[in-house]
Amino acid sequence: MGFLSQLGNVLQLDMMLFLVAGVLYGLIIGILPGLGGSIAMALLIPLTFSLTPEQAIVLLISAYGSSNFGGSLTSILINTPGDASNAATAFDGFPLAKKGKAGMAIAAAMVASALGGLIGLLVLDLMIPVARKLILAFSYPEFFMLAIFGLTIIAVVTTGSLFKGIISGLIGLMFAYIGTDPIMGSDRFTFGMDYLWDGIPLLAVIIGMFGITEAFSLFSQNKAIAHDVQVNKGGTWQGIKSVFQNFWLFLRSCFIGIYLGMIPGVGGTVASFMAYGTAVQMAKDKEKFGKGAIEGVIAVEAANDSKEGGNLLPTLAFGIPGGASMAVLIGGLMIHGLTPGPDMLTNNLDITYFLIAAAIVGKFVAMFFGLLLGPKLVFVTKIRGSIMAPAIITVSLVGAYGTDGKFGDIMVALLFGLIGYYMMKYGYSRIALIIALVLGKLMESSYHQTMATFGPEGFVTRPIALTLVVLTIASLIWHFIKKMKQKNQMKGELAA
Amino acid sequence: MIRINENNVFSIAIFLFGLLIFSATLDLRDDIALIPKIMSFCLVLFSGWQMIYDLFPTIREKININSKRQEKKEEFSLSDSAAAQEEDEIETKELVKKRYFFIGWMILFITLVYFTSMIWGILISMILYLKWISKETWKMTILYSASVALFIYLVFVVGFEIYYFM
């Protein structure tokens, strides 16, 4: 454990002050919809010019690490994810808030995030010497099968009509294909609009589908989020306990996050959705997901934070950023004369371990503030719907607009808010649409890359891909067998 | 007999969207648009069936009568639509009016953002909402609108120097 040698340096007073400042700043950025870890770091970089490399690292990495904590708070409380990777937290976190268990959900999210982050960073510490082989084991066929495996979640998470769940998934796929095709790079389904060349902005869609739809529904009903239930104020301890009660789920989600985080280009959003999907697929009682299952919150948050350890691996070891946030971090490090790549594992190994130590301490400081402040925000679930609605709309539109400053993003958020409202009203699955939107592009690009690189046999001859095929088929068969059993049981009970 | 209501209009919109995307894939090469082609064809098929089911109550009733297993209906038939149709019928005109009013307010909000700025858009639309839609007191209206607009101004314009918010 190389980071232990640097822990003392991080725990010094000046470093701790930078760390607390970074954590609080990251929490606020995370709470604001549309702003995530990459923006948190990008805005901080100019402030680090006059700092030493160590102070800059502490400030950047603690702000990045805590932004996810803030994002999960808004997902749980007002169904408006702070960032795309927090979207899956809302699937079960918000229904828990509606049941008056927001405090429990927040506590579970904070603890799962902190411990998930810790595990991710510990694995990073251990993996640095053997990273390369593991990263190269995953190629295009595995990505394709991973996307297909993820899409089968739709069959499981859809409540009500499965037929409408499939339609919702297909709509999501169609939206995912808007933009440029992965082979020729030519535009498709853009209908002459330049704005659509980059595809449908995921964050604006998520903000619309969850935030605006929720505001709409709050306005229509004119009731508070947790209107007909007693808000459970003492849920913090219950939330903390739930993480340990579901420890295997937590650990499994951590490893999904770490592994997907290691692979450049896959992104944290896919990691959190995959962790959610796996939690659903492997649960004994699948029906409770989407209706307020604490396991759904734990899985997503654990994967979301543990992926940071995975993300840092190619960034530090090879200088390959796993995503936008890591690219910003590389920029921040280079300003201070630190070039990510083999140099970080040889000449600057101390700095690498210092970074890991700072990230670990940052996670626990963020958990402390999250647990201190988060449950106090539960009161928002008791505010009258007609008062909450305009504030949620405002925050959502600000979030959609704030990321890139494109007016089109506001239009997309509003449009998807309306679509989401009617989907909810007429029994279509919003979750299925989002899952398909996230995984659709990965599925298509990896399909073409597999065909070009390995040919059709690539899907069934590689051991990891084959395992994923088997898992996909088995999970679907198991789901339908279980459904049939439930039906027969119900039939028997009715006959009796 | 065809029945037209919000639910049917939504089903038609999904079908038309599927049809639009599917027709756009016809111009694309098979090898580069294979997946969108297959998926959009499936969407046309599924949403078309759903649309017919929603539009023609007689067909729906026939399917429901022919379907002997009640639980199967809940699982894979389209019983949610029947529930939605019933819900539509009991929804009062007042509620529908209220909903369109809210949609109108959101459109006004983004129009204001387009012609003024995000901060002014927030301030004006919040005042309009709180006073005329939510029927709050003037004190509440001014305080709430000003607080939200000021918060967004301080965080995004002053704090992060996001120029396009002003």
pLDDT surpasses 90 at A441: no
Asked if A167 and B14 come within 8 Å (Cβ–Cβ), the reply is: yes
Cβ pairs bridging A and B (under 8 Å): 149
Asked if A397 and B125 come within 8 Å (Cβ–Cβ), the reply is: no
By the 8 A CB rule, do A92 and A275 touch?
A: no
Q: What percent of chain A has pLDDT over 70?
A: 89
C-alpha distance from residue A118 to each of A65, A157, A276 (Å): 11, 29, 20
By the 8 A CB rule, do B146 and B138 touch?
A: no
Query: Average pLDDT of A490-494?
Result: 73
A261 CB neighbour count, 10 Å cutoff: 32
pLDDT tens column, A313-362? 877 877 666 666 777 787 788 778 887 776 777 777 888 888 889 999 98
pLDDT at site B111: 93
Q: How far is A158 from chain B (nearest CA, A)?
A: 10
Per-residue tokens: A224: 């508070």
pLDDT at site B74: 47
Chain A positions touching B156 (Cβ under 8 A) are 398, 402
pLDDT tens column, A66-100? 888 888 888 888 777 777 777 888 888 888 888 88
The alpha carbon dihedral of A338, A47, A6, A369 has a sign of: negative
Domain layout of chain B by residue ranges: 6-91, 94-165
**What is the number of alpha carbons within 13 Å of residue B83 lying toward its C-beta?**
13
pLDDT at site B67: 57
pLDDT at site B75: 47
- B31, closest residue in chain A (CA to CA): A448
Alpha-carbon span A396 to A211, nearest angstrom: 6
Per-residue tokens: A432: 């299925």
pLDDT tens column, A92-123? 888 888 888 888 888 898 999 889 989 988 88
Chain A positions touching B94 (Cβ under 8 A) are none
Alpha-carbon span B49 to B43, nearest angstrom: 10
pLDDT tens column, A396-431? 888 788 777 888 999 999 999 999 999 988 888 887
Q: Which residue has the tokens 């992926």?
A: A307
Q: For residue A444, give the nearest of B35, B42, B129 by CB distance.
A: B35
pLDDT surpasses 70 at A170: yes
Q: Which residue has the tokens 């903390």?
A: A240
Q: How far is A2 from chain B (nearest CA, A)?
A: 36
Lowest mean pLDDT among A267-271, A464-468, B77-81, B140-144: B77-81
| pLDDT band at residue A233 under the 50/70/90 scheme | low
Q: For residue B134, give the nearest of A387, A405, A490 by CB distance.
A: A387
**Mutation site, B55, B134, B165, interface A, largest A CB count within 10 A:** B134
Which domain range does residue A345 map to?
Answer: 4-495
pLDDT surpasses 80 at A238: yes
Interchain CB contact of A177 with B (< 8 Å): yes
CA dihedral of residues B117, B118, B121, B127 (deg, nearest 10): -140
pLDDT at site B90: 58
Alpha-carbon span B160 to A451, nearest angstrom: 46
Asked if A448 and B32 come within 8 Å (Cβ–Cβ), the reply is: yes
pLDDT tens column, A147-156? 887 787 776 6
Per-residue tokens: A418: 């309306």
Asked if A164 and B50 come within 8 Å (Cβ–Cβ), the reply is: yes
The one-character DSSP state at A322 is: S
Chain B positions touching A402 (Cβ under 8 A) are 156, 162, 165
pLDDT at site B127: 93
Q: Classify A89 as helix, strand or coil.
A: helix
Q: How far is A144 from chain B (nearest CA, A)?
A: 12
Q: What percent of chain A has pLDDT over 90?
A: 6
A248 CB neighbour count, 10 Å cutoff: 8
Chain B positions touching A393 (Cβ under 8 A) are 106, 109
- B147, closest residue in chain A (CA to CA): A391
Asked if B46 and A32 come within 8 Å (Cβ–Cβ), the reply is: no
**Mutation site, A28, A174, A218, A403, interface B, largest B CB count within 10 A:** A174
Domain count within chain A:
1
| Side chain identity, residue B134 | S
Q: For residue A163, give the nearest of B7, B78, B99 by CB distance.
A: B78
DSSP of A453-490: HT-TTHHHHSHHHHHHHHHHHHHHHHHHHHHHHHHHHH
pLDDT at site B73: 46
Interchain CB contact of A197 with B (< 8 Å): no
Asked if B76 and A161 come within 8 Å (Cβ–Cβ), the reply is: yes
Asked if A163 and B164 come within 8 Å (Cβ–Cβ), the reply is: no
Chain A positions touching B46 (Cβ under 8 A) are 163, 166-167, 170
pLDDT at site A232: 58
Q: How far is A52 from chain B (nearest CA, A)?
A: 23
Question: Which residue ranges of chain B lie beneath pLDDT 50?
Answer: 71-79
Asked if B134 and A426 come within 8 Å (Cβ–Cβ), the reply is: no
Q: A 397-436 residues with CB below 8 A of B?
A: 397-398, 401-402, 405, 407, 410-411, 414, 417-418, 422, 425-427
Chain A positions touching B33 (Cβ under 8 A) are 181, 188
Q: Classify A254 as helix, strand or coil.
A: helix
pLDDT tens column, A29-59? 777 766 677 777 777 776 777 788 888 889 8
Asked if A487 and B75 come within 8 Å (Cβ–Cβ), the reply is: yes
ipTM of the complex: 0.85
pLDDT at site A496: 65
